Structure 1
Amino acid sequence: MGSPDEEHSLLRSDRLSRDFVAVGTEDTVAQALEKIRAAPGTNEIFYCYACDPDGRLVGVVPSRKLIRASPEERISSLMFTRVVKLPADAPDSLVEDFFVTYRFLAFPVVDTENRIVGVVEVSNFVDTFSDTLFDEVEGRVRGEVYRFVGLPDNESKEKRPLVMALRRFPWLLVNIGGGFLAATISRIFERTVEELVVVAAFIPMVLVLSESLGVQTTAVSASMLAEKHVDKLQVRREVLGTSLAGMMAAAVVALLGRLYAPSLAFPIVLFIAITLSTTLAASLGAVLPFLFHRFRVDPHMASAPLVLAISDNITLFTYFTLVTHLVVRGV
């Protein structure tokens, strides 16, 4: 008699579904969709599996990607070649780990020669074997969403509205302070805006770019802290990549600014201001979560408001100063 894991392997389990769609790498999208329509007993097709001429699994294409692709496009140009797959003798514990770790809706199951023999879907697995799986995944997702918007994980359990309000109010004060400082900076440069009205038109675009990139790097750093795996090299790469993306965006905005400005001075100001502000926002977003973590302050709740407030005000000050000296005064 085999071991318990062998007795509960996928090949011996009714969780293994034979209802899957396999296509050739040179098939077109139209041919793949036709095979999906003709496949018997397939109510839910999450993924389409690409096989080579020998029947070995070489790629996977999400069904939503097939639907959005042009009918003439080849599967080889759409498929993901790094396929996460389960061996046919996988025990229950490994299957559960795969669903919790990768969070895919289904996994292909292959034999020793890498030929697909079936699929295991999350609905069948959870309904039959693991009622706790959805609770674990749901809890992770809920926690990630709460942290992303700056709320503690246990916020949903709080029943007292006043306590909820007191938890959130301090960071609203940060937003209010940042907004008031931005209003003050705008008031200082009021004459600049009056003399060159187009300056005001580009303020939202200048601010939103630094805010967006700052929040992105904040999320990366905060995620590292949550997973307790800090990679300093990855943080540096994130800042550099985000800064380069900001520079590319600055070039696009500068070209748009040229349409509204009689000279090159204003587009140059746009490029410099956005490049500096996005680089600053990326750096703050990368560093502040670690700083708050050191002082035992929740980095998700504290860093994002400060990144936005600081980057917004420095962006505005830089933008108005450059416009005043390089454009309005003609220096």
Structure 2
Amino acid sequence: MKHDSAHHFQEPILKYARTDFARLPVHFTVQEALNAIRQQGIGEKIVYFYVVAEDDRLVGVVPTRRLLTAPLEEKLQNIMITRMVVIPHTATVLEACEQFILHKFLAFPVVDERRRIVGMVDVQLFTGEIFDFTEREQAEDVFEMLGFRLNQVRDATPLRAFRYRFPWLMPTVLSGTLCALLAGAYELTLARSILLAFFLTLVLALGESVSIQSMTLAIQTLRATRPTWAWFGKALRREMTTALLLGLGCGILVSLIVWLWRGVLPAALVIGGSISLSLTGACFVGLGIPTLLHALRWDPKVAAGPLTLALADIFTLLCYFNLAALFL
């Protein structure tokens, strides 16, 4: 049975929090802390000890190495770290994952609204129970990006596999045919500047790469976020700005290559400009197609890949040939 990943990552973090950790009073010395640890016992692979005030409020954390190497008469309040990153007890699994990614710590305390420690999550739990879940879906995600589900073709007969896989190749065939017709329509433009043909594959590849990157980011976000117009506008502004920077960088680089290789400045500017414009459009396609399919209640992972690549190729060629026709 396939897991609902969006539901999984929205589960409360308290479901995964551990309670086998030692609370150490802030007025303890290192010797008293070690004695308390022996009496309380600790769980496996504990790397941090949490220091609490009289009202059980978390006030610091002491790494194991620091506790073991400090003088026995030293107070915990003198060796503890007071600037801590904590996870609120209302956090979701996804929000906790973000903390591990951002801060690279081995464990985080979970605290309530009064900053009392109610649990602890460590990286072992995430790698053992949560990231394994993601890894189990990665293989299927790759196939779904291509247009079909892995469970449809696993152990299927060649004929059945053909029936599932062939329809999703049709967008590629149709878009490829349309691209060929577009190239034929601009045959005179290509004849005026043979350089356009040399860099056609590069321009298409860049557009496809950016569209797939944007599509992947959109699908991953849609798995854990309910899309709204506000979300789409914010994501679109961020992605379009990124795509514009990528387009300018790639466009300038390719323009320099064309100019240094052939010394034809107009063609170099047209090729570079079309790259800048097409990458921005490809970004919009990569973000918009999964969002639209999600709004229509279709599975964006299955349908987005072929459609995104097809539309990105068509838009890229339109930019490429129209700019060439105007300026060459």
For normalisation by structure 2, the TM-score amounts to 0.61
Alignment match, 2:235 = 235
The answer for the alignment partner of 1:319 in structure 2 is 320
Aligned residue in 2 for 1:279: 280
Alpha-carbon distance, 1:296 to partner: 3.4
1:9 counterpart residue number: 20
RMSD: 4.4
1:142-174, Cα deviation, whole Å (9 max, x unpaired): 444444444336447563443332222112011
Deviation sequence 1:224-266 (CA, Å, 0-9, x none) = 3322432224322233223313233222222222223444311
Structure 2 counterpart of 1:122, from 103, 121, 124: 124
CA distance in 2, matches of 1:57, 1:195: 70
| Residue equivalent to 2:308 | 307
AA aligned to 1:293 is H
Residue pair 1:85, 1:107 contacting (<8 A) in 2 also: no
Aligned pairs for 1:1-331 within 5 A:
8-11=19-22, 12-17=41-46, 56=81, 107-108=106-107, 122=124, 126=128, 136-152=133-149, 154-155=151-152, 159-230=156-227, 231-245=231-245, 246-327=247-328
Q: Distance in 2 between matches of 1:288 and 1:124?
A: 32
- Does the Cα contact within 8 Å between 1:182 and 1:312 map onto a contact in 2? yes
> Deviations 1:264-320 (Å, cap 9, x if unpaired)?
311221232112211211111221112223333321222222222222123223323
Structure 2 residues not aligned, in runs of 5+: 1-15, 23-40, 49-77, 112-120
Q: Is the 8 A contact 2:196 2:271 kept in 1?
A: no
Q: Distance in 1 between matches of 2:234 and 2:45?
A: 39
The alpha-carbon distance between structure 1 residues 145 and 325, as it changes in their structure 2 partners (threshold 3 A), is closer
Question: Aligned to 1:10, what secondary structure does the other structure show?
Answer: coil
Q: State the distance in 2 between where 1:218 and 1:9 align.
A: 42
Change in CA separation of 1:6 and 1:211 when aligned onto 2, cut-off 3 Å = closer
Distance 1:100 1:155, change over 3 A: farther
Q: Give, in whole Å, the separation in 2 of the partners of 1:8 and 1:225.
A: 33
Partner SS, residue 232 of structure 1: helix
Give the Å deviation of 1:184. 2.2
Asked whether the 8 Å contact 2:145–2:304 carries over to 1, the reply is no
Q: Check conservation: 2:144, 2:302, Cα contact below 8 A.
A: yes
Q: Is the 8 A contact 2:152 2:164 kept in 1?
A: no
Partners of 1:223 and 1:120 lie apart in 2 by: 24
- Quote the Cα distance in structure 1 between the aligned partners of 2:208 and 2:239: 14
2:178 aligned counterpart, secondary structure: helix
**1:172/1:322 CA distance change after superposition, 3 Å:** same
Are the structure 2 counterparts of residues 100 and 136 from structure 1 closer, same or farther at C-alpha, using a change threshold of 3 Å? farther
Aligned to 1:74: none
Contact 1:250 1:272 in 2 (8 A): yes
Query: Do the aligned residues in 2 keep the contact of 1:253 with 1:270 (CA within 8 Å)?
Result: yes
Q: SS at the partner of 1:259?
A: helix
Identity level (%): 25
- Mapped to 2, the partners of 1:106 and 1:160 lie a distance apart of 48
- The answer to whether the 8 Å contact 2:293/2:300 transfers is yes
Cα separation, 2, equivalents of 1:198 and 1:125? 51
Rounded to whole Å, the distance in 2 between the matches of 1:7 and 1:318 is 56
Change in Cα spacing, 1:207 to 1:6, as seen in structure 2 (3 Å) is: closer
Higher relative CO (CA 8 A, sep ≥ 6), structure 1 or 2?
2
Counterpart CA distance in 2 for 1:228 and 1:110 is: 25
1:112-133 CA-partner distances (Å, limit 9, x unpaired): 9xxxxxx95628995xxxxx66
Q: 2: distance between equivalents of 1:307 and 1:229?
A: 21
**Does structure 2 conserve the Cα–Cα contact (< 8 Å) formed by 1:106 and 1:122?**
no
Query: Alignment partner of 2:148: what SS?
Result: coil
Question: Across the two proteins, how many residue pairs are aligned to each other?
Answer: 256
Task: Tell me which amino acid in the other structure corresponds to 2:302.
Answer: M
Contact 2:100 2:123 in 1 (8 A): no
Question: Could you tell which deviates more after superposition, 280-289 or 236-245?
Answer: 236-245
